[in-house]
Structure 1
């Protein structure tokens, strides 16, 4: 009989120990929902009953009328910050308490991942950001404009050759191939045409690197989250050896060739090599034209930080080029897919944009210029609203790097002591769809970003590229790439719905990244206004 009692006591103790972590925020006086045993607030997403954006929206709505609330990623207590003023306080004013992202890959398990700007922490991140940020200014985007434009022309010419009035296209696959070619060209110095050569090695490696629906990739994420020390012991790599070797070899071979033959191209490798050789300097003044309303500015925190004192290695360059590829391959193609979908189901918006494209085409003499593109106000409004309704970074995180106290502001609050290594989430997707900030948030309305209306947008409620010193370094590039491609498409085609177009759009629950359940099936209808 004693062993039955002992077993029952052991089970009860285990249950108590496993349930106790889900009382973390209650004990700190922070409101929370009703986390599920073992899985916290992640069960619906883990069981593929809920997409990642839907999960973010759920935890945002769990505790209404609060500046912040607690939730749990399995056992990890996470503080959801919802109040714009508090977001500013944490991400900008008191940034030195929240410098790092949550590390989900052990530092030494995959050097190619661990050395990239997104994964670096602390002093190493500050130095790398200060070193790289001058390569992403407006003048550097103008420097790379010709390469991106070249890819845009190549893209539209592929479809102009088709003898069809309405060409059926799955936009995500198609735009991913375009993004692949742009990044191969601008970041790695490799020219591709993935619409023609559909199985080129660069595209296949990129697809493997960004496949988050893969069972083994999901298993790695679980292992990183649940037992990071075990993942570290067994050196579980984020990227497969094949992917790592491919991209590393592309970069190192390219560097050796340039150094040997004195090759100079207007691309990212050249800028990184210049940073290694001479260093790059920030522009002293803001450009008259920038890539758009959504562009994030570099903060003085990183502008004034010390650059890397040691030599930038080939490995460093390969890591930065790969994260640039990693981010652009999926996120930019998702933005393009969702923007094309919104234009197709909102023909009145597309009509206005088509008129601006035609006017710009004529003003530029049939050849788009950097200045002509950035002068397209309605284009910027459409892109800005696409990022408002469909931000790719549905949430952004920060890790507390030194203890911090959130002071009470309302009668029902008390000081919240945020401990070192506590995780903070900023729910971008949900904030962008909060009717307090954006009336009728489900409606696609570019007029929110007109000259008359954009001044009314409450600060720190529009965060498509993050916020504070740790914002997305590539915002200018993503905006420029998107605008160039849509200029070329709309110069020759109207984007239309077809029988296979899913209306309304349902989000995929089987992938972590933002994607449509049934694909983005649309038609390109030839306008017949001009020939090549």
Structure 2
């Protein structure tokens, strides 16, 4: 009987605690949806009743007239910013109040994943950003242009030799390419993942970016009960993946130091910064290389995959792009593409921009580092965002808002022609983020996409096949845009 009474008391205390947690925003005059206890707004995602994109979109649309909405990542209060002017203030104008990103993996659990540029804070982040920025100058892009183009030749040859009666799963095809591209520009390694499909570098990269049920549960554990998850040392990434990248980077560092090897890549810049007195351990260098690989492997492959899909189902866009490619080739000496010629292609830019509008990273976040007041308008109350509060900038929902982009589900590169792009409301299109925390590798991502599609489209067409889903069904098992049944396309000679 006593045990039963204690149990009931514990349940009551838990409910009181949860009720207080889930009134965080309403007590501040901020509207929020009805919550699922313990799971917050993630309830339907956790139960696989909706995709992450659907969750963000439904939150964004829940209160159309509000400039911001309260939500909960498990037990974590999060403010979703909808108003473009507020987004500008938080990401740029008042950046000193929001300098950090949310850190899901606490320090001490898996430092290779927790000490990268994305999660570093304050002055140390600024130093690291300044150290890595020279990796992405125009001079470095020209060097990388050659390396990426050489990597793509494996894929051009593969497409020429393959059985053209068979369709291709685009995500698999392009993750292999981005794996090889990032291997050469960041790690100094040469891979051929399209012909050597089971090479270790590719398999480890695929495993690292594959967020299945177990890994998603680990993420939710840190969102719902971070102290308990930390106590039990729950890891999001398997030890074998962490050790693989540690050993790879350590071996590369030792080889370069012992043989005085200089290669114009990110690892070289970090080693030079270390010599100049910047406090860098080998583990911190590994952490930067890993997040660089992670972003380059998955994010760029997603861009390439959806661009291929949109070209296949919008043949008039593909034909116009191929016309620009043919004209550019005629102007190149001996029909050899140059970096300068590639960067002058306006319609190619338009197609990539529209792909990034329709299929971007779902959201980016900021963590408040100093008390910040959102000035009220109309009937709003004063709201003070406190240090530690998380805010979300819902990229995908804003870029598909018909208020800013007419007929947003239509793939229309003309939105970004010289005349129309001037009409886009500022701070409603930001696929790589905004302000000082914008994606440092965006130029490299765009370069990879341009090289890949220029060289493939000059000889091939992307064509729908029997397995092509129109419209696409988005997986409910992923945090991003991932086709539920794969994305199958024919790639046939022109």
- Shorter-normalised TM range: over 0.9
Q: 2:478 & 2:487 partners in 1: Cα distance?
A: 15
Q: How does 1:333-344 map to 2 (within 5 A)?
A: 333-344=301-312
1:45 equivalent in alignment to 2:14? no
Q: How does 1:172-251 map to 2 (within 5 A)?
A: 172-213=171-212, 215-251=213-249
Q: 2:417 & 2:204 partners in 1: Cα distance?
A: 40
Contact 2:90 2:98 in 1 (8 A): yes
Q: How does 1:57-456 map to 2 (within 5 A)?
A: 57-164=57-164, 166-213=165-212, 215-277=213-275, 309-364=277-332, 365-391=334-360, 393-409=361-377, 411-456=378-423
User: 1:406-451: CA deviations, max 9, x gaps?
Assistant: 1102x21011011111110111000001111111101100001111
Contact 2:38 2:224 in 1 (8 A): no
User: 1:184-232: CA deviations, max 9, x gaps?
Assistant: 111111101001110000011111111111x331232122222322333
Q: 1:67 & 1:514 partners in 2: Cα distance?
A: 25
Q: 1:173 & 1:6 partners in 2: Cα distance?
A: 54
Contact 1:33 1:63 in 2 (8 A): no
Post-superposition shift, 1:335? 0.8
SS at 2:167 equivalent: strand
Contact 1:167 1:525 in 2 (8 A): no
SS at 1:24 equivalent: coil
SS at 1:88 equivalent: helix
User: Which residue in 2 is equivalent to 1:516?
Assistant: 483
**CA gap 1:193/1:10 in 2 versus in 1, 3 angstroms:** closer
**CA gap 1:3/1:374 in 2 versus in 1, 3 angstroms:** closer
Aligned length: 493
Contact 1:147 1:266 in 2 (8 A): no
User: Which residue in 2 is equivalent to 1:487?
Assistant: 454
1:472 equivalent in alignment to 2:442? no
Contact 2:75 2:223 in 1 (8 A): no
Contact 1:85 1:460 in 2 (8 A): yes
SS at 1:469 equivalent: helix
Gap runs ≥5 in structure 2: none
1:501 equivalent in alignment to 2:468? yes
Post-superposition shift, 1:159? 1.2
Post-superposition shift, 1:160? 0.9
User: 1:4-55: CA deviations, max 9, x gaps?
Assistant: 8886665444323222211111110111122223322111111111111111
After superposition, the CA RMSD in angstroms is: 1.9
Q: 1:363 & 1:239 partners in 2: Cα distance?
A: 48
Post-superposition shift, 1:275? 3.9
Q: 1:38 & 1:212 partners in 2: Cα distance?
A: 21
Post-superposition shift, 1:362? 1.9
Query: Higher mean Cα deviation, 361-370 or 229-238?
Result: 229-238
Q: 2:15 & 2:128 partners in 1: Cα distance?
A: 45
| Structure-1-length-normalised TM-score | 0.89
User: Which residue in 2 is equivalent to 1:305?
Assistant: none
Q: 2:478 & 2:7 partners in 1: Cα distance?
A: 40
User: 1:134-169: CA deviations, max 9, x gaps?
Assistant: 2222222112111011112221111112253x5410
Q: 2:320 & 2:326 partners in 1: Cα distance?
A: 10
Q: 2:389 & 2:202 partners in 1: Cα distance?
A: 38
User: 1:226-275: CA deviations, max 9, x gaps?
Assistant: 23223333433343221122112212212222333333334333343344
SS at 1:333 equivalent: helix
User: Which residue in 2 is equivalent to 1:282?
Assistant: none
**CA gap 1:249/1:2 in 2 versus in 1, 3 angstroms:** closer
Q: 1:378 & 1:249 partners in 2: Cα distance?
A: 43
| Structure-2-length-normalised TM-score | 0.96
SS at 1:387 equivalent: helix
Contact 2:39 2:75 in 1 (8 A): yes
Post-superposition shift, 1:510? 1.3
Q: 1:4 & 1:488 partners in 2: Cα distance?
A: 70
Q: 2:244 & 2:2 partners in 1: Cα distance?
A: 61
SS at 2:380 equivalent: coil
Gap runs ≥5 in structure 1: 279-308, 528-532
SS at 2:252 equivalent: helix
Contact 2:69 2:81 in 1 (8 A): yes
Contact 2:170 2:487 in 1 (8 A): yes
